[in-house]
Amino acid sequence: MANSGQAQASGPRTLYEKIFDDHVIVRRPDGQSLLRIDRLLVHEGAFHGFDKLRLAGRSVKRPDLVFAFADHYVPTRAGPITDPEVINMVEMLRQNCREHGITLFDRGDHDEGIVHVVAPEQGLTLPGQLLVCGDSHTSTHGALGALAFGIGASEVEHALATQTVWQRRARTLRIDVGGKLSKGVTGKDVILAIIGKIGANGASGHVMEYTGSAIRGLTLEGRLTLCNMSIEAGGRAGLVAPDDATFQWLKGRTYAPKGELWERAVAHWRTLPSDEGAHYDREVSLDGSAIEPTITWGTSPETALPVSGRLPDPNSAGSAEAGKSISQMLDYMGLTPGMPVSEITIDRVFIGSCTNSRIEDLRMAASVLKGRKVAVPTMIVAGSTEIRRQAEAEGLDRLFAAAGCDWRPNPGCSMCVGMNGDLVPAGERCASTSNRNFKGRQGPGSRTHLMSPAMAAAAGLTGRITDVRPMLDA
Amino acid sequence: MKPLRTVSAPAIAIDMPNVDTDQIIPARFLRKPRRPGYHLYLFHDIRRAKDGSMDPAFPLNQESAKGAEILVADRAFACGSSREGAVYALVDQGFRVVIAPSFGDIFASNSVKNGLLALVLPEATVRSLLDQLKARPGATISLDLEAKTLTSPDGKTIPFDVDAYVRETLLAGRDDITLTLEHAAAIDASLSRMASETPWLMPTKA
């Protein structure tokens, strides 16, 4: 039996390969490896996994490495939860955590919020870790140089019972974004441009590593947004190599190592970035300087277009199938072939979700909304209570209120998932900072245009998709 | 879990790219406990017309879909959310095999755990299957997982490749936690090494 995480390929390795090798417990001859999980994160939806565990009469192997959050189903409005099914789900989560000794970031605590916002914020996510969660946007945590991916309910059960996961080594895809982003262009625009280029299955079977000067130049918040949407390109995970900016961002966070341990950790983390000459199975490059504010027009994130662009015409799609797919999306979205992006009108705006609800996102939206009034309903939801408090300390809540926005008192997934009461009504068109524009994602019949918080704020002010750049202070 | 060795059954085509798991099962049904009956939510919104009635044009609503155990789809089938409910809904409907040029990664993992084969075939092969099934909805496809061959409605035998672990798991109908626990000592050793060699990974609240 192969063992010991020491088994390593010779020669230069990528960041992904290093983390993978560090976590191998068993390698099977067929290429499957059993990997150790350093952090297992769960949310209310994990009741399926806990139920299966209970049915099989199994227990949680390492509750000290499991952390729980209530985010998908909890309402963002003030007051107690009223939906009986949601009360039940949150109660089940509490019970499961109590029964198994798992730390829960519960509603009403001072540090709760969206799992992919809170875990990095609390220093639970660290470089070099293997982290899993029963949610596809677990790829977010790769921004800190952790290997992080989503798993289903059966794998959650497996992870709870064994603190391991079976994986086959993925192929590697390097996405190099060179140059420098221009003002008003954010991590969101970069990832939308990438998905637009490679497609919704462009990274299928691959772990993506983002490199290049434009990526280095992103803040950690920007990198979290970038890695969050790796799954929308079909990637198993997304990674940014940890650097000084990462360490600075993490230092002092609640669960981050302290003192001498911190020094040892950083010394180790400095060895993680891909070696010079490491081989990637595929490489794609983009010029960051050429990326414009980017939005989506259809019902797949791959339908990304620059704000200066025009919608496609099914008749010039290249193939009958592609033309049919474009027609169906235009029809669902209620849009006309060839129309300019800037003529798309908007009925409401949502700023929030695990993609774009961090303090930098809120500051960016505020810089656009300052001293202006929104033309359509605009909901803003901080990703965590800590972020909400920070925003309020900076006076952003008052600025949003003065602009006519709906600043929500509780954190959560909100209008991204359409399962907690925050919904886009059928037929309405929402400028949203979330990650998915699938049919009905924000509510049955809803129409979603994905964009950055700055672009969403601009759309809120004008009631149409609007290039935010002229609105920004010089 | 029911082992999967051979299937010979009616097949239907969903000829659309990027059918995400939100389309396979809308989020509002995910709060339902795992009991038989998830097929009631399968393609819930996209198989219905605006007035809520079943859309006769949707392949699964047609007479030819009766008894279908094989679904053929276009690229990036079941991309998006990790919800295992997408697999439950397909399995409860009676599907044993889904064929596409590419799948959402997490869906493919979830499938194995529930005895469903998510089979990747080359784009041209899938296109041919889609076209045959659109001409003859409900035509029979036969699949032999042991031999790794598939017989298309036009009678051609197509060899395919499948991950050895996936094949073995499906053939045996095996619970992989039992398999994993055979490695309990190695797992414990790895967890001890985590604490001794990389102590900063142990969560401690400051």
- Answer for the pair A116, A354: CB distance below 8 angstroms, yes or no: yes
Question: Radius of gyration of chain A from Cα atoms?
Answer: 22
pLDDT, position B167: 95
Chain A, 72 to 101: residues with Cβ < 8 Å from chain B are 73, 85-86, 89
Pairing mode, strands A130-133 and A103-105: unpaired
Inter-CA distances, B170 with A94, A110, B67, B143, B159, Å: 35, 46, 21, 13, 18
Alpha carbon of residue A239 to chain centroid:
12
Q: Is the dihedral of CA B42, B44, B49, B52 positive or negative?
A: positive
Q: What is the pLDDT of residues B137-148, one digit of tens each?
A: 999 999 999 999
Distance from the Cα of A345 to chain B's closest Cα (Å) equals 23
- Answer for the pair A435, A137: CB distance below 8 angstroms, yes or no: yes
Question: Residue B47 has which token pair?
Answer: 């198989």
Residues of A in contact with B185 (CB under 8 A): none
Residue of A204, A417, A448 for testing the chain B interface, max B β-carbons within 10 Å: A204
What's the pTM value of the predicted model, to 2 decimals? 0.96
**A283 pairs with which residues across the strands?**
A174
- Answer for the pair A352, A381: CB distance below 8 angstroms, yes or no: yes
Q: Which residue has the tokens 């790895």?
A: B190
Search chain B and give the residue with CA nearest A89.
B31
Pairing mode, strands A429-432 and A406-407: unpaired
Q: Would you say residue B186 lies in a domain?
A: no
Q: What letters, b where the CB count within 10 A reaches 16 and e where it falls short, cover A305-332?
A: bbbebebbebeebeeebebebbbbbbee
| Residues 6+ away with beta carbon under 8 Å from A140 | A116, A120, A148, A224, A227, A228, A354
Question: Residue B68 has which token pair?
Answer: 């279908």
Q: What is the ipTM of this complex?
A: 0.93
Q: Is the dihedral of CA A92, A93, A95, A99 positive or negative?
A: positive
Q: Residue A102 is which amino acid? A: I
Question: Residue B78 has which token pair?
Answer: 């079941």
Question: Residue B194 has which token pair?
Answer: 């985590």
Q: Would you say residue B182 lies in a domain?
A: no
Q: Residue A303 is which amino acid? A: T
Chain A, 198 to 217: residues with Cβ < 8 Å from chain B are 199-201, 204-205
Q: How many domains does chain B have?
A: 1
Q: Would you say residue B139 lies in a domain?
A: yes
pLDDT, position B32: 85
Q: Does the pLDDT at position B55 exceed 70?
A: yes
pLDDT, position B22: 96
Q: Does A255 touch chain B (CB under 8 A)?
A: yes
Q: Would you say residue B47 lies in a domain?
A: yes
**A104 pairs with which residues across the strands?**
A68
Phi/psi of residue B115, nearest 5 degrees = 75, 15
Range of the domain at B159: 6-174
CA distance A271 to A371: 47
With pLDDT > 70 as the criterion, what percentage of chain B qualifies? 100
Distance from the Cα of A154 to chain B's closest Cα (Å) equals 6
pLDDT band at B35 (very low <50, low <70, confident <90, very high): confident
Phi/psi of residue A68, nearest 5 degrees = -120, 150
Residues of A in contact with B31 (CB under 8 A): 45, 73, 85-86, 89, 419
pLDDT, position A3: 38
CA distance B49 to B88: 24
Residues of B in contact with A162 (CB under 8 A): 177, 180-181, 187
- Answer for the pair B20, B26: CB distance below 8 angstroms, yes or no: no
- Answer for the pair A377, A348: CB distance below 8 angstroms, yes or no: yes
Residue of B111, B187, B197, B205 for testing the chain A interface, max A β-carbons within 10 Å: B187
| Residue ranges in chain A modelled with pLDDT below 70 | 1-9, 474
pLDDT, position A9: 55
> How many CB atoms neighbour CB A180 within 10 A?
12
Q: Does A31 touch chain B (CB under 8 A)?
A: yes
- Answer for the pair A140, A228: CB distance below 8 angstroms, yes or no: yes
CA distance B138 to B132: 10
pLDDT, position B34: 86
* Sheet strands (E) in chain B: 6-14, 70-73, 97-100, 117-120, 140-144, 149-151, 157-159
pLDDT, position B178: 85
Question: Residue B190 has which token pair?
Answer: 């790895």
Residues of A in contact with B16 (CB under 8 A): 325, 328
CA distance A259 to A416: 39
Q: Would you say residue B190 lies in a domain?
A: no
CA distance A292 to A173: 23
Closest to B114 measured CA to CA, from B101, B96, B93, B141: B96
Q: Would you say residue B198 lies in a domain?
A: no
Q: Would you say residue B30 lies in a domain?
A: yes
Q: Residue B80 region, left (φ>0) first, then alpha (ψ -120 to 50), else beta?
A: left
Closest to A199 measured CA to CA, from B98, B186, B79: B79
pLDDT, position B140: 98
3-state SS, residue A434: coil
Closest to A73 measured CA to CA, from B21, B29, B40: B29
Q: Is the dihedral of CA A401, A73, A121, A432 positive or negative?
A: negative
Alpha carbon of residue A27 to chain centroid:
30
Residues of A in contact with B23 (CB under 8 A): 438-440
Q: Does A30 touch chain B (CB under 8 A)?
A: yes
**How many angstroms separate the first and last alpha carbons of chain A?**
62
Q: Would you say residue B199 lies in a domain?
A: no
> How many CB atoms neighbour CB A457 within 10 A?
33
- CATH number for B119: 3.20.19.10
**A113 pairs with which residues across the strands?**
A384
Q: Residue B143 region, left (φ>0) first, then alpha (ψ -120 to 50), else beta?
A: beta
The burial class, CB within 10 Å (0-12 / 13-18 / 19+), for A214 is: buried
For chain B, the residue count is 206
- Answer for the pair A114, A71: CB distance below 8 angstroms, yes or no: yes
CA atoms within 13 A on the CB side of B193: 16
For chain A, the residue count is 474
pLDDT, position A474: 59
